[in-house]
Amino acid sequence: MPTMNLKGWIEQDGMRLSPADLERMLKEGPETITRCGGEFLLTWDDCIARDAFGIIPGPVPPGTISCNGREILRINPDPAPCTLEEAIVTAVSLRSDEGVVAFSGGLDSALIAGLARLPCVTVGVEGSHDATWAAKAARMMDLDLEIVTPRENEVAEALDRVVRVIPEPTNPLEVSIATTLYFAAEWAAEHGHTRILSGQGADELFGGYARYLSSLDLARDLDRDFADLGRQRRRDQAVATLLGTNLSLPYLDVRVVRAARAIPAEEMVRGGVRKHPLRVVAEHHIPTEMAWAEKKAMQYGSGIWKVIQRLARRNGYKKSVQGYLTEISRAEHDH
């Protein structure tokens, strides 16, 4: 059989498949992997298969098997039904053989860290909310935590690299999120890790954004934001790939998505509390105080956004971070 190449990992019914398992399956035909889950880009012969949600970047659309440049099959994992808690525990377990957790001390990453028991990395400038809270959370949970505290000149250097690779380089919010992730990916790569477990997707699945508190149609808003996750993944994987790593997303495991989407939208935000079902699950695995705590968004909690604003002012853009980022982007394109 010609060389098979797997980037990421594949599972079937909760069991990770070895390269030998895959080779045996592929001898029977590509349809054998249409029910497989995981985060993967698999190539063999003249064929390419990519996981259902397109977590791993690749040249074919998410959830497709293409041979000789033509889509021949769809990948549609169908694991046994389970509760939300069982889904999350399984999703994290499947991803916990290697890697680090991008840890802010907030609900989403704390639940992953509590289940995975992997090294954790937090990005936060000196004295930032995330650095302080994550250190406290790590002590409470007895986690192995490294806090990366980038200096202003390091943020400026990271900005130059991030703007070059992300799809929407002059959107300030996108850039600040991507720059924060850059430092987590850099630390992971320097310490020999290729996988970064991240809480991405939890806000969109479970109603985590503040704007959901005043939503007039929460089901519609959740659907819209969930549909936008593909764009966010492209941004974040572009940064992770730049540093030789990949994001791994337990909340976007097919089991978790299925279990979450079965919960009525009105259950997600209850009594002014966002992500209510996720907090109920988290209480069983992390300290209660952390399961019910509110937290700032990553780009604000890390302090990176304030550093970017300061860099913009210092470069003559007193009122427009957008203008500063456009200048960086233009300079990159001129090279």
The three-state (H, E, C) secondary structure of the chain, written as one string: CCCCEEEEEEEECCEECCHHHHHHHHHHCHHHHCCCEEEEEEEECCEEEECCCCCCCCCCCCCEEEECCEEEEECCCCCCCCCHHHHHHHHHHHCCCCCEEECCCCHHHHHHHHHHCCCEEEECCCCCHHHHHHHHHHHHHCCCEEEECCCHHHHHHHHHHHHHHCCCCCCHHHHHHHHHHHHHHHHHHHCCCCEEECCCCHHHHHCCCHHHHHCCCHHHHHHHHHHCHHHHHHHHHHHHHHCCCEEECHHHCHHHHHHHHCCCHHHHCECCECCHHHHHHHCCCCCHHHHCCCCCCHHHHCCHHHHHHHHHHHCCCCCCHHHHHHHHHHHHHHC
Residue 329 domain flag: no
What is the pLDDT at residue 267? 96
Residue 319 domain flag: no
Least confident stretch, 29-43, 84-98, 230-244, 309-323 = 309-323
Give dist(CA 188, CA 196) in Å, integer.
7
Q: Which residue has the higher pLDDT, 299 or 270?
A: 270
Say what percent of the chain tops pLDDT 70. 96
Please write the tens of the pLDDT for every residue from 106-123: 999 999 999 999 999 999
What is the pLDDT at residue 330? 78
The model carries a pTM of 0.94
Report the interhelical angle of 152-165 vs 321-334 (nearest 10°): 60
CB 248 within 8 A of CB 198: yes
Does residue 154 share a domain with residue 267? yes
* Single residue among 43, 74, 105 that ends a domain in this structure: 74
Does residue 64 share a domain with residue 89? no
Q: How many CA atoms lie within 13 A of 267 on its CB side?
A: 11
Q: Which residue has the higher pLDDT, 53 or 319?
A: 53
- Sheet of 64-67, strands arranged across: 15-16, 5-12, 37-44, 47-50, 64-67, 70-74
Residue 316 domain flag: no
- Tokens linked to 162: 């991030």
Residue 149 domain flag: yes
- Tokens linked to 170: 């002059």
Please write the tens of the pLDDT for every residue from 175-216: 999 999 999 999 999 999 999 999 999 999 999 999 999 999
What is the pLDDT at residue 92? 98
Residue 203 domain flag: yes
CB 112 within 8 A of CB 137: no
Does residue 286 share a domain with residue 184? yes
The answer, yes or no, to whether residue 2 has pLDDT greater than 80, is no
- Tokens linked to 291: 């399961």
Residue 270 domain flag: yes
Nearest of 84, 104, 113 to residue 294 by alpha carbon: 104
Does residue 272 share a domain with residue 235? yes
The answer, yes or no, to whether residue 236 has pLDDT greater than 60, is yes
Task: Give residue 122's domain range.
Answer: 84-301
Please write the tens of the pLDDT for every residue from 139-177: 999 999 999 999 999 999 999 999 999 987 778 888 999
Does residue 185 share a domain with residue 47? no
Residue-averaged pLDDT of the chain = 93
Does residue 149 share a domain with residue 250? yes
For 11: left if phi > 0, alpha if psi spans -120 to 50, otherwise beta; the answer is: beta
Q: What torsion do the CA atoms of 139, 140, 141, 147 make, to the nearest 10 degrees?
A: -30
Give dist(CA 287, CA 285) in Å, integer.
7
The answer, yes or no, to whether residue 333 has pLDDT greater than 70, is no
pLDDT bucket at 129, cuts 50 / 70 / 90 = confident
Q: Are strands 195-197 and 246-248 parallel, antiparallel or unpaired?
A: parallel
pLDDT bucket at 130, cuts 50 / 70 / 90 = confident
> How many angstroms separate the first and last alpha carbons of the chain?
44
The label of the residue with tokens 């001898």 reads 27
Does residue 192 share a domain with residue 110? yes
Does residue 236 share a domain with residue 108? yes
Total structural domains within the chain = 2
Q: Give the CA radius of gyration of the chain.
A: 20
The answer, yes or no, to whether residue 78 has pLDDT greater than 60, is yes
Compute the average pLDDT of residues 292-308: 79
CATH number for the domain harbouring residue 89:
3.40.50.620
Residue 24 domain flag: yes
Residue 321 domain flag: no
What is the pLDDT at residue 37? 97
Does residue 68 share a domain with residue 94? no
Q: Residue 12 forms beta bridges with which residues? A: 15
